[in-house]
Amino acid sequence: MNKITEIDPQTAAEQVVPMLDEISPTMCMAKWLWSSIHLTNGLTNSCFLPPLHKIDAEAVKKNPRALHNTPEKKQQRAMMLKGEQPDGCSSCWRVEAQGKQLSDRAYRSSEPWAQQGWEDVIDTGADGDIDPTYLEVNFNHACNLACSYCSPHLSSKWAEDINANGPYPTKVPHNSIDYFKSIGHYPIPNREENPYVEAFWKWWPDLYPKLKHFRMTGGEPLMDKNTFRVLDYVVDNGRKDLNMSITSNASVPEKNWNRFVDTVSFITEYDKLESFRLFVSVDGWGEQAEYMRDPLDFDVLWRNVNNYLNRTKDGLVTFIVTLNMLSMPSIKKLMEGILELQRIHNVTKTRRDDNGKLIFYGIHRVYVDTPALHFPAWQSLKVLPKEFWHYGDECLEFMKANPDKNRESRWVGFKPHQIARFSRSLDFMKQGFSSLEEEVEAQGNFVRFFEAYDKRRGLDFHATFPELGPYYNKWKARL
Ligand code: SF4
């Protein structure tokens, strides 16, 4: 097979389409090689777009590869090999039916982890078991934060709130633990045996050498012993072609943080991995960020990120900014802060060239991604009144005015795809709700939720977001 050599994602995706077509017109490498496995509750999907489905707890006891190779995925793989379209991949089929742009199927299949496993996919076919080359897992839902848009099956802190006070009084009660239990999404309690985590560790020695990307999410992964077991494994079994990452709130207890930075500092110092990336979740600046990610201490987060960047050799950071309505008043300030971190950390050394002239070297170490929050709809950008859209427009202008130009900008600035992502999120905001009824319901739920949130968490919406107060009061008066 011809390998894709193009590193520009758009060109690579265009190049891969005829290669996929040689197999079938609906072929997608992600169905075999990309996996998200929720070890907390035994759910999986490939890729991240189709709905999660249950993993058979008995099957994984006999065969740990059943964590990824479920009967449902095998059925979808068989359909793809025959040129049929599995329902779960509808988001790709919709894009392809419009005929205007390539779907995720082309982008995913052209990425290096997909190229690496191409022959394995052909050999495996529909019925065999395959090890993914791109894997995301979460071991535990333990978390010390309970962010406004999160839920009790993903955060133990949220579960404490719901256990103490019940679901939130939105029109349809929000974040009911009984609901998550009824759909099989609630985690297995830590005190009980978890067949999925056990199967993962049985699989790990065979899986580890195949991986190209491995990402640990949560809960908060730095509060879980399995995360440190993985990192310790890397210390003893380096893999120079593996990209490892972790998604963290960067505000865990100091003991956990220090252990993490000590270990990653060793891993990066001795080149045990191709790269290590810390994804940091934060959605605004200062006390507004603290309100959204209760009970975050923003200064601790910022100090920790600096500490990680100072202590790890070429350790990478990507800020995951889940844009919701409350992000917008401080979004530009957050982008300014990210640029400042780039100024401090992206230029890594200065040397003399052959003519004795000082020349500096750098790499991109600090990145940002700005997906829009879709659920719950009443915290999404669509709830933000038009009067405040200028926050987003000003931030977009700021990003455009500070483009990344590699050495010329000392590796400081925003890349075109980062600017495009932010711009797409603003488009989503400006699309608004599909009906006035939906909009009014979202505004009502916004007030119902944050009234209770303030009471339960000891917070003060009006003091934190004074600019939004008049709208809040108007929506409240209508209830
Ligand atoms: S076809 Fe699309 S939705 Fe389905 S696995 Fe591939 S990228 Fe994901």
Q: Compute, in angstroms, the gap from residue 84 CA to the centroid of ligand 1.
A: 13
Which residues line ligand 1 at a C-beta cut-off of 6 Å? 28, 30-31, 46-47, 49-50, 89, 91-92, 103-105, 108
Cβ 360 vs Cβ 349: under 8 Å? yes
Report residue 10's pLDDT band, with 50, 70 and 90 as the boundaries: confident
Per-residue pLDDT at 7: 65
What single DSSP character describes residue 45? Answer: E
- pLDDT over threshold 80, residue 4: no
Counting Cα atoms < 13 Å in the Cβ hemisphere of 68 gives: 25
Question: What is the Å distance from ligand 1's center to 326 Cα?
Answer: 31
pLDDT over 90, % of the chain: 91
Atom number in ligand 1 closest to CA 103: 2
Closest atom of ligand 1 relative to the 34 alpha carbon: 5
- Percent of the chain surpassing pLDDT 70: 99
Query: What single letter denotes the amino acid at residue 122?
Result: I
Distance CA 187, CA 139 (A): 10
Confidence check: pLDDT of 144 > 70: yes
Name the residue with tokens 């742009």.
101
> What is the mean pLDDT of the segment spanning 60-75?
98
- What is the atom index within ligand 1 of the atom nearest the CA of 48? 8
- Nearest atom within ligand 1 for CA of residue 31: 5
Q: Which of 44, 108, 109 to mutate to test the pocket of ligand 1 (most atoms within 8 A of CB)?
A: 108
Give per-residue pLDDT as tens, 358-415: 988 899 999 999 999 999 999 999 999 999 999 999 999 999 999 999 989 999 999 9
Q: Which of 76, 103, 113, 121 to mutate to test the pocket of ligand 1 (most atoms within 8 A of CB)?
A: 103
Distance 32 CA to ligand 1 centre (A): 10
Contacts 24+ apart (CB under 8 A), 57-66: 57/195, 57/196, 60/195, 60/196, 60/199, 61/195, 61/198, 61/199, 63/129, 64/199, 64/200, 64/202, 64/203, 65/129, 65/130, 65/131, 65/203, 66/129, 66/199
Cα of 271 vs centre of ligand 1, distance in Å, is 33
Q: How far is the CA of 73 from the centre of ligand 1 (A)?
A: 11
DSSP-derived 3-state class of residue 169: coil
28 CA: nearest ligand 1 atom = 6
The protein residue with its alpha carbon nearest to ligand 1, atom 8, reads 47
Asked if residue 6 has pLDDT above 70, the reply is: no
Q: CB under 8 Å, gap of 24 or more: what pairs does 264-269 form?
A: 264/231, 264/308, 264/312, 264/315, 265/311, 265/312, 265/313, 265/315, 266/235, 267/231, 267/234, 267/235, 267/238, 268/312, 268/313, 268/314, 268/315, 269/312, 269/313
What sign results for the dihedral spanned by CA atoms 454, 167, 223, 304?
A: negative
Cis link prior to 47 (omega < 30° from 0)?
A: yes
**3-class secondary structure per residue, 341-382:** HHHHHCEEEEEECCCCCEEEEECCCEEEECCECCCCHHHCHH
- The average pLDDT across 262-274 equals 98
Q: Is the dihedral of CA 479, 375, 399, 307 positive or negative?
A: positive
The reported pLDDT for the residue numbered 349 is 83
Q: What is the CATH number of domain 156-477?
A: 3.80.30.10
Q: Which atom of ligand 1 is nearest to the CA of 90?
A: 3
For ligand 1, the distance from its centroid to the CA atom of residue 51, given in whole angstroms, is 11
The packing angle between helices 416-431 and 389-401, to 10°, is 170
Q: What is the domain partition of the chain in residue ranges?
A: 9-134, 156-477
Closest protein CA for atom 7 of ligand 1:
105
Closest ligand 1 atom to 46 CA: 5
Range in 59-73, 98-112, 129-143, 241-255 the model is least confident about = 98-112
Token match 């994602």: residue?
9
Alpha-carbon distance of 169 to 163, in angstroms, equals 14
Which residue CA neighbors atom 1 of ligand 1 most closely?
105
Query: Given the CA of residue 104, which atom of ligand 1 is nearest to it?
Result: 7
Give one DSSP letter per residue of 382-440, joined into a string: GGS-GGGHHHHHHHHHHHHHSB--GGGGTT-SB-HHHHHHHHHHHHHHHH--SSHHHHH
CA distance 296 to 333: 18
155-163: average pLDDT: 97
SS3 56: coil
Per the CB < 8 A criterion, the answer to whether 461 and 472 are in contact is yes
Q: What distance in angstroms lies between residue 430's CA and the mean position of ligand 1's atoms?
A: 27
The Cα 404–Cα 421 span in angstroms is 15
Cβ(363)–Cβ(314) below 8 Å: yes
CA of 50 to the centre of ligand 1 (A): 7
**CB-CB contact of 372 with 425 (8 Å):** yes
Indicate the pLDDT class of residue 347, thresholds 50, 70 and 90: confident
Measured at the CA of 203, the angle between CA 78 and CA 143, to 5 degrees, comes to 100
Nearest atom, ligand 1, residue 49 CA: 3
CA of 111 to the centre of ligand 1 (A): 13
Q: Closest Cα partner for 37 from 178, 214, 236? A: 214
Provide the pLDDT for residue 438. Answer: 97
Specify the residue for token string 């005015």. 401
pLDDT band at 190 (very low <50, low <70, confident <90, very high): confident
- At residue 1 the predicted structure's pLDDT band, cuts being 50, 70 and 90, is low
Separation CA 443–CA 377 (nearest Å): 10
Q: What angle do CA 71, 107, 393 make, to 5 degrees?
A: 120
Of 330, 325, 426, residue with least CA distance to 384: 325
Cα of 27 vs centre of ligand 1, distance in Å, is 9
